[in-house]
Structure 1
Amino acid sequence: MPLQHTDTVRVLDTIADTALMQLVYVSSLSLKGRLSSSIFVDLERHARVYNTERGITGILCYGNGHFLQCIEGEKAKVLALQQRIFSDERHKNIKVLLLQAIDQRRFVDWRMRSLFLERWLWSPDTKQQASQLAVFLPFKPYDWEPERTQQFLQVIKKFDNPPHIKAARLTYSALASKFRHIIAPHQAFLLIQGCLAILLVIAIILVYFQL
């Protein structure tokens, strides 16, 4: 199960400040995040500069309204980044899935790579490699055990080609998420109103032909 706060504190106490550490957390897109059509571009731009300067590596995954991020680096620097990330109001319901000291980095690219677990956003190169991801889709990482989280990281580490996604598609994805968030609570109302509108049109047509 995801680590609780007491478990997280206990693990952190066993890791030296200068040791390499890996932190994996999951969160959900908040209303503020859904209303930001440029959220993905902004995250990548800011992460590239901040993480490179501080020796942070890892990967950021998004799918089905959820984020999963793996952060690797010295303990003190990872925790400083964690505070920045966890206070970001564009996501919510943050849970730590994995927290551990590591001997070497799993992701050695100094850029913070991004992986979008939405099939329609994948590049052709990504689709060729994506068969291994089928067991993790639809993307619902909140209840992943540490072993499953490790398996997921191992699979995406082997991707030869990171997905190349057009910024416009990311905008459409955020906009679609926004509309789903607004419409979902009112589905029943909209369905009833739609049916009534159809019946009204039919009634008008019948009256017109009877005149």
Structure 2
Amino acid sequence: MQIPLNHMETVKKLSDTPKDGLIQLVYVSSMTLRSRLKSSVFDEVEAHARSYNQQHGITGTLCYGNGHFLQCLEGEKDEILTLQERIFADGRHKEVQILSLKNISQRSFEDWRMRLLFLERWLWSPATKKQADQLSPFLPFAPHGWTPARTAQFINTIQTFDNPPHIKAAGITYNAMGNMFKHIAAPHQAFLIVQGFLAILLVIGLYLLTY
């Protein structure tokens, strides 16, 4: 069962946790159309996360695939709650949903650098493709609605990666544009196919008339 998307619900759930108690929060969200058009959004998110997290003792990982973000955050209760408010207010994504929230005795991700993990097979580098195959059970990436148990299984898988699958900037651009096209074209797929077919017939007709 997913935890309600409400900051006060999170505060209430952690009411018995000391301010400096260690917690893990995992949430998922979807990119907005504006973000899909901006390929640099990934670099911006990663750079900001690394800077902020280092200053506030927060560790974790940020995953992206199929137009969705999944982020695992670990740190002291007060720091995580403050960051959660910032996340909910971030206009670069929407449909934010908390998948898992729990007290932990130790971190799964010790490195303060917020690693960025791409869950798109065709974008993975050859050097990391073999270990990335462990992610097959979670693809295509659609984390909205995951149970806490499935979320934990995913986190346990990715925390073993020495070098997360990575891609080049050009690939990010194509990915963002592809998702944008899918977002726009999907509801009108039949119309686009018919129009494309008619366009081909028109070109053939003009060619026959000319020659």
After superposition, what is the alpha-carbon deviation per residue over 1:123-151, rounded to whole angstroms, capped at 9, x for unaligned? 22321112221111111111211111101
Summarize the Cα distance change of 1:163–1:130 in structure 2 as closer, same or farther, 3 Å threshold.
closer
Note the residue ranges of structure 2 that are not aligned, 5 or more in a row: none
How many residues end up aligned between the 2 structures? 209
Identity of aligned residues (%): 60
Give the match for residue 181 of structure 1. 183
How far 1:195 sits from its partner (Å)?
Answer: 1.5
Give the match for residue 37 of structure 1. 39
Report the more deviating stretch, 28-37 or 169-178.
169-178
Task: Please tell me whether the aligned partners of residues 5 and 96 of structure 2 are also in contact (alpha carbons under 8 angstroms).
Answer: no
Give the match for residue 4 of structure 1. 4
Q: What letter corresponds to residue 112 of structure 1 in structure 2?
A: M
How far 1:65 sits from its partner (Å)?
Answer: 1.0
Greater radius of gyration (CA):
1
After superposition, what is the alpha-carbon deviation per residue over 1:37-57, rounded to whole angstroms, capped at 9, x for unaligned? 211011111111111011110
How far 1:63 sits from its partner (Å)?
Answer: 0.6
Query: What is the SS of the residue equivalent to 1:163?
Result: coil
CA distance in 2, matches of 1:197, 1:5: 47
Within 5 Å, give how 1:1-211 maps onto structure 2: 1-5=1-5, 8-208=10-210
Query: What is the SS of the residue equivalent to 1:162?
Result: coil
Q: What letter corresponds to residue 34 of structure 2 in structure 1?
A: K
Q: What letter corresponds to residue 119 of structure 2 in structure 1?
A: L
Q: What letter corresponds to residue 152 of structure 2 in structure 1?
A: Q
Cα RMSD between the aligned structures? 1.8
Q: What letter corresponds to residue 108 of structure 1 in structure 2?
A: E
CA distance in 2, matches of 1:16, 1:125: 43
Query: What is the SS of the residue equivalent to 1:89?
Result: coil
Task: Please tell me whether the aligned partners of residues 27 and 70 of structure 2 are also in contact (alpha carbons under 8 angstroms).
Answer: yes
Report the more deviating stretch, 145-154 or 1-10.
1-10
After superposition, what is the alpha-carbon deviation per residue over 1:48-76, rounded to whole angstroms, capped at 9, x for unaligned? 11110111100000111111100000111
How far 1:161 sits from its partner (Å)?
Answer: 1.6
Report the more deviating stretch, 134-143 or 187-196.
187-196
TM-score by length of 2: 0.91
CA distance in 1, matches of 2:182, 2:147: 29
Report the more deviating stretch, 3-12 or 55-64.
3-12
